[in-house]
Structure 1
């Protein structure tokens, strides 16, 4: 009989075996490696937002996963979002729907906990898209010379930060989160873990005695046979305003004689506007005379698991200032209880579901995967409609429906899980 339940500490060695065999790239091979991983997992398992689950066939563990109780800024609202990570199946039990059963359990688990939305990083996007997950915003990897950054206006000095600055750093991140869409509140154990990595450097900009921005970075060798050849990789770039950002960028510019290139991975696809030379050093040309500036990758995916609860969470969100009645026909084959027809009544941008249904001005239809991308702000309705991924009963309503779902900010995620 197949069951799914939380993992006891005594089961962690078997969880480690399944995980490291599923992901050999983790390079956990020796007994010392496994002992160190066990020590880390015992600590992580004690965190209140982290839950280890496993699938059992009788007494045998055949699959494992990790669930996270995140708080995410969705437009104007902070709301519970269930994260999923470390999904692994015993090599002897592949193609037995173990992973599908875990995902279904995970979706039900967060519906029951009151979440309307879930998120994950896919090992294969197509696998999770079939289960109703929609794409988020792509990640951009920029690689540029430090002297391509803008020169400083005046001299802004940065301080190096330590664990003593933890609370100030957390407050700065929280202010940054408040101005964005999609960011996840920084879990305390993740914040504490940053200061235990000896390779990370922390630089902060203060104004009036207050930390107004900070930069987390590390140096990486370009060539193993030349210790003078290094790049600087940015881990986090957080700031209150343009002044703080300018100070942080000025600090990076001063490293031109120290590093060959700065590597910045960000969901900001307009970052190249800051650079006097945005080329990434590859020398590649695209479609004629288009210089390669960055590479991109699809990662974070979102999934709505409770549509009525979603619109309740977004009751204070401005849906484009529109006034109309819209019927949403939502297809959800993996979680059928979430699908169906919903009548959304929008009055001057404030939306509420009408449980009684009733007449609607226009009907739209789409799969839950596209709806999840749409409602988080990762894509606009007009693009989904143009791609044939959303239907509209009356084309004259396209501008209004597009405004209704258009987000002020694309959803960014800076949390790995």
Structure 2
């Protein structure tokens, strides 16, 4: 049985998570008690979080997950999305299908709530791809000299912020989210991190309005003296280009104390703003490409309800056909079997609509796995690219034409972890 986790279940939950994630180092009694207090606070607070557990008939907890109810910018429209995190299975009950049942429960709840898209950060990408999750945008990590940043702005406009500026930080963050596809609005957990001063915050004002904010920490450089630091940037938002330049200039001025600045971003254009994007590895990639960073795959997206996704997004801000059209799709979805099959996706009077159809897989315009559909409709990869690699079959329509109608111009950007 899967049900909501209550306060009486938290001791079991802490033991379960300690075994499932030994890297969290909460197996000790004191660490577990701290973790229980955190879970208790999250359960009792009004927030966007819910915990669900897999229980035996004897009420033994064998698995659990955390549900995050979020608001995300999907190509200019703020829509409700769900995230799933802390998926944990009892160490002695792995390979018994518990994780699969937890995911099925999560997807069923999402469909009941008409949530069109869900997401997660995978512990195993292939495991979740088999469950219909498509790869999200890649994230780049750069390790830059402060002097790599432009210095043409006004350093003195950058001021230190504190938890008392929480509402202003949230406001500029959410405005940035409204401007960037894939961004999730500020969460309850992230507000708590501001209150707890988990990082330093620097900001730029224009008049009385905060138009840029940067969250960072400083840590000593290994095997160096106590005045030598690395700056770790966790979050960087701005609503005015001048604020970005001012903050770059402020970073540039830290060269006497900061050796390297870590920046993590999903924006491929970031390096074009820099004086010198090279890291400190001094490695060359053949023939002559200087190493500038590392790259990873993380957040994955899954369309949990094709009908709801089309209705809620209407593929806003994308090119529109100049006449009524109907595109036939065959979506392969072995995990949410109600979604497996053919669809007619029709456009008329500035509106896209979708309905199930009986057309065969051999006759459809596009045959695609739900994982690839999710990545395509979230703008992570183009249909044209998928077709070139043989991942999808496209008939009757140029793939690049379908991209103009259904693929967001920019890849998603996401700062939220869960």
TM-score, normalised to structure 2, is 0.94
Looking at structure 2, the residues matched to 81 and 154 of structure 1 have their Cα atoms a distance apart, in angstroms, of 39
Deviation at 1:132, TM superposition (A): 0.2
Query: 2:120 — aligned with what?
Result: 120
> What SS does the aligned partner of 1:344 have?
strand
> What SS does the aligned partner of 1:227 have?
coil
Looking at structure 1, the residues matched to 216 and 122 of structure 2 have their Cα atoms a distance apart, in angstroms, of 26
1:379 to 372, 378, 381: 381
Q: 1:224 and 1:277, CA in 2 relative to 1: closer, same or farther beyond 3 A?
A: same
Deviation at 1:35, TM superposition (A): 1.2
Query: 2:48 — aligned with what?
Result: 49
Q: 1:120 and 1:155, CA in 2 relative to 1: closer, same or farther beyond 3 A?
A: closer
Of stretches 361-370 and 119-128 in structure 1, the one that deviates more from structure 2 is: 361-370
Deviation at 1:71, TM superposition (A): 1.1
> What SS does the aligned partner of 1:226 have?
coil
1:30-49 → structure 2 map (5 Å cutoff):
30-46=28-44, 47-49=46-48
Deviation at 1:252, TM superposition (A): 0.9
Mapped contact 2:342–2:357 kept (Cα < 8 A): no
Query: 2:5 — aligned with what?
Result: 7
Gaps of 5+ in 1: none
Query: 1:290 — aligned with what?
Result: 289
Q: What number of residue pairs does the alignment pair up? A: 412
1:268-307 → structure 2 map (5 Å cutoff):
268-307=267-306
1:251-266 → structure 2 map (5 Å cutoff):
251-266=250-265
Mapped contact 1:134–1:301 kept (Cα < 8 A): yes
Looking at structure 2, the residues matched to 52 and 105 of structure 1 have their Cα atoms a distance apart, in angstroms, of 12
Query: 2:417 — aligned with what?
Result: 416
Q: 1:18 and 1:155, CA in 2 relative to 1: closer, same or farther beyond 3 A?
A: closer
Query: 1:28 — aligned with what?
Result: 26
Q: Per-residue displacement from partner, 1:293-327 (whole Å, max 9, x unpaired)?
A: 11000000000011111110022614422243201
1:237-256 → structure 2 map (5 Å cutoff):
237-256=236-255
Deviation at 1:350, TM superposition (A): 3.9
> What SS does the aligned partner of 1:353 have?
strand
Mapped contact 1:320–1:349 kept (Cα < 8 A): no
> What SS does the aligned partner of 1:194 have?
helix
> What SS does the aligned partner of 1:175 have?
helix
Query: 2:367 — aligned with what?
Result: 365
Deviation at 1:242, TM superposition (A): 0.9
Mapped contact 2:78–2:178 kept (Cα < 8 A): no
Query: 2:214 — aligned with what?
Result: 215
> What SS does the aligned partner of 1:192 have?
helix
Looking at structure 2, the residues matched to 234 and 153 of structure 1 have their Cα atoms a distance apart, in angstroms, of 19
Query: 2:340 — aligned with what?
Result: 339
Looking at structure 2, the residues matched to 228 and 79 of structure 1 have their Cα atoms a distance apart, in angstroms, of 46
Of stretches 396-405 and 285-294 in structure 1, the one that deviates more from structure 2 is: 396-405
Q: Per-residue displacement from partner, 1:217-248 (whole Å, max 9, x unpaired)?
A: 00022215632231000011110121111111
Mapped contact 2:341–2:356 kept (Cα < 8 A): no
Looking at structure 2, the residues matched to 100 and 413 of structure 1 have their Cα atoms a distance apart, in angstroms, of 26
Of stretches 397-406 and 369-378 in structure 1, the one that deviates more from structure 2 is: 397-406
Q: Per-residue displacement from partner, 1:78-103 (whole Å, max 9, x unpaired)?
A: 11111100011111101101111111
Deviation at 1:402, TM superposition (A): 2.3
Q: 1:369 and 1:118, CA in 2 relative to 1: closer, same or farther beyond 3 A?
A: same
Mapped contact 2:181–2:412 kept (Cα < 8 A): yes
